[in-house]
Structure 1
Amino acid sequence: MTKGNAFDPNCPTRLVLDRIGDKWTVLVVLNLCQGPMRFTQLKDQIGGVTPKVLTQTLRAMARDGLLTRHVFAEVPPRVEYELTELGHSLRAPIQAITDWAEEHVLQVMASRTGTLDQDE
């Protein structure tokens, strides 16, 4: 298989970038790097995500091979989500972007409000 080209408008690389650039995907990956989690655990850890959006995100990530969904034959059924090897490979780049965002959030917000000193 050849390498993709993100600058080619017809390349499916753009679909991959859409998936991994989604904030909910980023937060799911960061949480599942710690190990398998149930839906409610993920929802509580992420905060601010609706059940519908989290369900859509988890389904899309499973379809894209980034996580697996394990259903345990229990009453009531227990479902856990776990990153695949491909999903785990996102940890370093996503963590790097998250670290950058956390370090520079004040500068970005100041720029948005126009309060950033022009000499900074």
Structure 2
Amino acid sequence: MIKKEEMPLCDVATTVELVGSKWKLLILRDLISGPKRTSELKRSLSGISQKVLTESLNSMIEDGLVNRLDFKKVPPHVEYRLTPLGKSFLPVIEAMRQWGKYYKSQI
């Protein structure tokens, strides 16, 4: 987790620091609809490597945006879900979706 004293002064830069990669944004988008297993996320994120998916999820867990729930079963069953802090980012994703739709209509 980024320590408060290490955060950029600019609030936009702080947001970019936390979710600035396309993969993190798309993971958040996918988790809006509810908990997902790693395999579900990998399938929906065409082109993401397992390494990048794992690193992104671990980073978002560390930053308090995502929770990892391990069901302690055999075979392993792990789910990822948004934390309340992660859910607070949903209006930003919705605004991005709306703007993307608008942009497509303009070109």
Distance in 1 of aligned mates of 2:38 and 2:96: 25
Runs (5+) with no aligned partner, structure 1: 8-12, 111-120
Q: Does 1:14 align with 2:13?
A: yes
TM-score for the superposition, normalised by structure 2: 0.82
TM-score for the superposition, normalised by structure 1: 0.73
Runs (5+) with no aligned partner, structure 2: none
* 1:62 equivalent in structure 2: 61
Bigger CA radius of gyration: 1
Identity of aligned residues (%): 37
Report the more deviating stretch, 15-24 or 61-70: 15-24
Higher RCO (CA 8 Å, separation ≥ 6 residues): 2
Amino acid at match of 2:42: K
Aligned length: 101
Distance in 2 of aligned mates of 1:44 and 1:73: 23
Distance in 1 of aligned mates of 2:49 and 2:105: 27
How much is the aligned-residue C-alpha RMSD, in angstroms? 2.2
Give 1:19 deviation, angstroms: 2.1
Q: Does 1:52 align with 2:51?
A: yes
Report the more deviating stretch, 16-25 or 44-53: 16-25
